Amino acid sequence: MREMVARCRQLVETIYNQYDASHDLDHIDRVMKNAEKILLTEPAADELVVQLAVLLHDIEDAKYEAMHEATTNQMLDKIGASADLSAKVISAIESVSFNGGHAKEITSIEGAIVRDADRLDAIGAIGIARAFAFGGARGRKLYDLEEEARRTMSASEYRNKETASVTHFYEKLLLLKELMVTTEGIRLAKERHHFMESFLEQLKIEIE
């Protein structure tokens, strides 16, 4: 198991290092640490499925698809994953994306762990840093006082409108605490959510 995970990490390293700082290999490593914390409280989960899903969950992210031609299936084939293991990993990955509030239904405890672990890295201090790193990489404004956060949107609208970075907090990041599903994910999200609220309050004071 360790050899397969190590080989997978080796294969994805060059891919993620092409991404901006919001979705690079450091992001993957942080999500892995979050997943490991949650795994301690979910003994029924398959650790190998979780670890491989974490390593591969952003390979086919539409935001970066022009940077490489690798696919999740190709990576799983290269590390010698069985058809059954590959199916479980892909199923876990499919429910990770927020997709403008249109995430696919979780079908396994492994999917729940990976999704919570990924979303934990989108909130709190690191979530703030990532939001502005992504916005900076895309040339977006820090904030726009005239821009209203959308309450409903299609997956396409979510991905294609380039909103200011602070608007993204209200369209996604502040919603994630209530969308956690594992007991440990829920617990860890509370403190990070509170930190984001404090940051936005201070930011408002400084802007005004």
Read off the pLDDT of each residue in 118-132 and give the average, rounded to a whole number: 98
Decide if pLDDT at 102 tops 90.
no
Over residues 135-157, the pLDDT tens digits come to 999 999 999 999 989 888 777 77
Angle of CA points 179, 5, 173, to nearest 5°: 20
Tell me the whole-structure pTM to 2 decimals: 0.93
Decide if pLDDT at 66 tops 90.
no
Domain assignment of residue 88, given as a range: 2-207
Q: Fill in the DSSP letter of residue 67.
A: G
Read off the pLDDT of each residue in 55-59 and give the average, rounded to a whole number: 97
Give the three-state DSSP class for 140. coil
Over residues 168-203, the pLDDT tens digits come to 999 999 999 999 999 999 999 999 999 999 999 999
Read off the pLDDT of each residue in 2-15 and give the average, rounded to a whole number: 96
Q: Which residue has the tokens 């990976």?
A: 114
Collect all residues with Cβ–Cβ distance below 8 Å to 139 and sequence separation of at least 6: none
Question: What pLDDT score was predicted for residue 43?
Answer: 94
The enclosing domain of 135 has a CATH number of 1.10.3210.50
The count of other CB atoms within 10 Å of the CB of residue 189 is: 22
Give me the number of domains the chain comprises: 1
Read off the pLDDT of each residue in 27-35 and give the average, rounded to a whole number: 98
